[in-house]
Each structure stands twice: as structure tokens, then as C-alpha cells.
Structure 1
Amino acid sequence: MSNPSKEDWKTVQWIFTYLHGSVDVCLQFGRNRDGVIGYVDSDIAGDLDKRRFLIAYVFTIDGCAIS
């Protein structure tokens, strides 16, 4: 968006207000609570334009994402 309107900025402000008020909320599916679990995915040179090493990770505690 190269030229956001006042309505766009109000929407962005509402989203940040919502996120700030829901930092302790998480979605949890199932009843399996195994403590800390980490998931990692990596790709060597998968970015064909820049040939960068890509990595992504998610860690959970008792089913809630923490990073």
C-alpha cells in the first residue's frame, strides 16, 4: 500500500491493540502436553534469486507456540 488512508491506519491500530491484549492467548489442539517441543525446517540455496540459506523454527511449551 503506497498511500494508506485514515481508515487503513485505524485498521492497523485496531490490529495492534488486539494483538497487545491477546499476548497470553494461544490455540491448542488436542490434549497432548509434552513440555517443550521444537520444529525446524531448513533449505540450502532454495531462494533461487539470492541463493541464501533459509531456516524456520517454532518452539512450543505445553502446546502453545513461544517462538
Structure 2
Amino acid sequence: MEYGLKLSKEDREEQIDPSLYRSLVGSLMYLTNTRPDIMFTVSKISRFMEEPTKTHWEAGKRILRYIKGTLDYGIVYTEGNRKLVGFSDSDYAGNLDESKSTSGYVFHLGSGVISWQSKKQKAIALSSTEAEYIALSLAGCQAIWIKGILDELKVVTTNQQYA
């Protein structure tokens, strides 16, 4: 997604065919199953499926151009390192329409990503610190769940890290 681009439902631009836009977003959502790198931007553009404008369409096309240039990217799993590593982040008040932030996390087990999510926060954060705490809480819950699953499957992990 273009740096600094703020999308809004209140755009006063030319509207486009909603069914075509929904088709694009649906295809991109399907692709996020193997491409966690586009999760955040697809989550952002999926919020405008009722009345998409030309700006929303251009953001979707930009994702397609990114995918075309990174066809060799994907998730690769290899044997060996079983280190569980997690990352979390948020964008403070990134939603212009509701002033809500977006949380995101990703967890790697060794060489490949095993869990990721990008989601609009339910509460309105009053500061960037609060938005980060909400994101960390979401990631922490997922880390505990992943650790429980790995313990149940008797997968031995080494040196867990959460950032």
C-alpha cells in the first residue's frame, strides 16, 4: 500500500462497479492464505465494499502490481530450527471514518509463518501506546494458544521470542 495513503468511506470521487471491486477483494482475501505480507492492505481495502471509489480501486490494483513483482514469494517450511518467534504492531487511528486502529501479528515457527492476523480494533485507542497494548494483548492470546497446540502435539520449541 502506498505510504501515507488514507482511505475513507467519505471519498467524494467517482464510484466504481461494486461487484467488480468485491471480486477483486475476494480474490485477494483468498490469496492471503499463502501471502501474509498482503494481509494488512487487503484488510484495509475490504472495508469499502459497499460503495467503492476510484481511490479504493487504485489501492487494490497496487496490491496486484505488488503481487506480480513478487511471484516468487511465499511460505517455505524446512526442517531444523523450531524457534517460535512472534511480532505485533498497530497503526494508531488509521481508520479515518471511526478513528479506530488496526492490530496485526505474525508468528514464525522456524523458517515459515504459522499464524498471522490483521484486524480493526474493537475499541478506540486514546494514544498510540494504548493501540500497541491492545495489539500486544491480541498477539499474546495467540501466542498462548499456539504454545498450547505445540505442547499438545509434542513439538519441542527452542528459545521463544515475542516482539
TM-score interval w.r.t. the shorter chain? 0.3 to 0.5
TM-score w.r.t. length of structure 1: 0.48
Whichever structure has more strand as a proportion of its residues is 1
TM-score w.r.t. length of structure 2: 0.22
Q: Which has the higher contact order (CA 8 A, sep 6+)?
A: 1
Whichever structure has more helix as a proportion of its residues is 2
